[in-house]
């Protein structure tokens, strides 16, 4: 069983799988195609990706441009992250708004991020392993993003600037207003 939790941003869903715990530990199904298709229609995942990062690393805000745009099903396998998603769909009632949520190896929560969102995260624990499924293959030519600390997005990453660890690429992504954005909202 999975519980689907709607958010204030249309189409952005938090998914809480049923976790069975006993004296040995726990068991759960992070993904079961049949169960997901009963609750969430229209996604077929084709690739799994995984990243490990140290504390205070920020990755993002990333997305892929068409024709390789992606829906992502993300989770933190080990450790704890602050996950940030920005609605970049023109015409959306929540355009340029963001959602922050804690994903961890302990809470087992997942986030379903449809096409038309920029995504990033900050590692809160000493180390974290981040895992995601996507419905379209990665394309280096379509790999894109927006600057994580764009003041117009007003994202509080909850970390002093001098402690942030970020790649040169992510540090030089365009501002939201200057970024290529082919996404539109479909209700």
CB 167 within 8 A of CB 82: no
Asked if residue 67 lies in contact with residue 142, where contact means CB atoms within 8 angstroms, the answer is: yes
The one catalytic residue among 121, 132, 144, 148: 132
Active site annotation includes 31:
no
With CA atoms as reference, report the closest residue to 65 among 160, 166, 141.
141
CB 72 within 8 A of CB 63: no
Rounded-to-integer distance, Cα 113 and Cα 62, Å = 12
Straight-line distance from the first to the last Cα atom of the chain, in angstroms, rounded to the nearest whole number? 27
Six-digit token string for 94: 């929540």
Is 132 a catalytic site residue?
yes
Distance between CA atoms of residues 175 and 164, nearest Å: 18
Q: Annotated catalytic residue: which of 62, 98, 121, 144? A: 62
Which residues participate in catalysis according to the annotation? 62, 132
């Amino acid at each position: 069983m999975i519980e689907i939790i709607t958010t204030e941003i249309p189409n952005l869903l938090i998914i809480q799988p049923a976790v069975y715990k006993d004296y040995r530990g726990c068991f759960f199904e992070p993904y079961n195609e049949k169960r997901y298709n009963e609750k969430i229609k229209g996604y077929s995942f084709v690739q799994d990706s995984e990243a490990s990062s140290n504390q205070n690393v920020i990755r993002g805000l990333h997305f892929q441009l068409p024709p390789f745009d992606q829906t992502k099903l993300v989770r933190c396998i080990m450790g704890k992250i602050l996950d940030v998603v920005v609605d970049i769909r023109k015409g959306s009632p929540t355009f340029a708004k963001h959602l922050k949520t804690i994903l961890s190896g302990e809470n087992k929560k997942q986030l379903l991020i449809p096409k038309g969102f920029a995504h990033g995260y900050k590692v809160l624990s000493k180390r974290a392993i981040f895992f995601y499924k996507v419905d379209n293959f990665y394309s280096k030519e379509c790999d894109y993003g927006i600057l994580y600390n764009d003041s117009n997005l007003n994202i509080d990453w909850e970390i002093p600037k001098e402690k942030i660890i970020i790649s040169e690429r992510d540090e030089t992504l365009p501002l939201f207003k200057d970024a290529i954005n082919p996404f539109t909202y479909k209700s």
